[in-house]
Amino acid sequence: ILLLDGHITYYKDDLIVLKYHENYIVPFEFPSHLIHVLQLLDISIIQPWKHYYNKVIHHALYLLVIEYTISSFF
């Protein structure tokens, strides 16, 4: 998923749209200048999750655990 601000500078060139499809990217366009609201999600929810996810991954690498599941993070 690629989150885009609907600002005029983000044009929909055919080549760019083709690259989205080739790389399995789903562009999701927000109304102009609204994407800053998502920064609250990044600070309050996503940032702590990334921190703990990194800790688990580093610990798994330290123990040489090759296979893991989502439930092993919790």
- Residue 14: the pLDDT is 76
pLDDT at 10 over 60: no
Sequence letter at residue 11: Y
Angle CA(29)–CA(40)–CA(4) in degrees, nearest 5? 15
pLDDT band at 57 (very low <50, low <70, confident <90, very high): confident
Average pLDDT over residues 1-22: 74
Is the CB of residue 49 less than 8 Å from the CB of residue 24?
A: no
The residue among 50, 5, 18 whose CA lies nearest residue 58 is: 50
Please report, for the chain, the start and end positions of each structural domain, with discontinuous segments joined by +. 1-32, 34-74
**pTM (2 d.p.):** 0.43
pLDDT band at 74 (very low <50, low <70, confident <90, very high): low
